[in-house]
Structures are given as C-alpha cells and as structure tokens.
Amino acid sequence: MFTAARTDTALVLLLAGTDPDEVGATGITERAEYLRLLALGCTPSLAAQILFGGAGKASHWRRDDPAFARACDAVKELGAGQPAPARAPRFTPDRRRGFLDHLEGGLSVTAAAAEVGIIGVGGGRRPRW
C-alpha cells in the first residue's frame, strides 16, 4: 500500500485521514499531478493539456497561490540540470486518449504514462515506440 502511495496522491490523502473527493482535496490532487508532470519533463502547457484539456487552471493557481508558484519554480529548477531528451515523446491523440483512459481507470500519472509508452516503467524517460 505504501509503495502505491508513492505515485497516488489520492491514496496519500486517504492515508492522512482526508477524503480525496472533497473539494479542497481534489485541488491538492490536481496540483500534485500537475507538479509531477512538470517533474517528468512536460512543459507547463503540455501538463495543462494532459490534465485539464488545455484549460488555464494551473496558470490561475500560479497567479493566485504564491506557494504553488514557488513549487512550480522549484520543480523547474530541479529539471534544469538534466539534459533534454534526444527526442520528445510522441503524445499522439491515440496515446493521449489511452493515457486519459488509464487515469480514469485509477492509475497514477506515472503508471498511465508508462502504459502508453511515454516513459519507461520505472519512471525514467525511455519511450517504448
């Protein structure tokens, strides 16, 4: 269970005694998933497209929540020292649909990305074409 909690924000909230479906908890989960996508190397616009269909939700969070803006900046700094991948993953419409289907099925962002071949199974950037 604790291994699954490493990549499942809703499970972490539940273990902490918070209902993950509460309005406030849903926002925490969305913010965590957005930060996780940034940490995986997604651009802010790609992360917003994946999670929110391109809606400007994350940009509003950055503007209205200084702590979230600092978290985004910290994730960006952590990734700044890593070399860019040789080729960006092909997030095709089919892969996007499959990714979203896996998320709706309960997989974490990392596991769903691995299932559609955007990242390797261990979370590394090893696309499976």
Contact 125, 119 (CB under 8 A): yes
How long a stretch of residues is the chain?
129
- Token look-up 């909690």 returns 5
pTM of the model: 0.56
Tell me: the pLDDT tens digits for 64-93?
989 989 998 898 887 766 655 555 557 788
Tell me: the pLDDT tens digits for 27-60?
888 888 888 888 888 888 888 888 888 777 888 8
CA nearest to 9, candidates 24, 1, 20, 22: 20
CA 125 to chain centre: 14
Q: Copy the structure tokens of residue 11.
A: 């499970």
> What residue segments make up the domains of the chain, in order of their start?
2-86
Q: Is 129 in a helix, a strand, or coil?
A: coil
- What end-to-end distance do the CA atoms of the chain give, in Å? 31
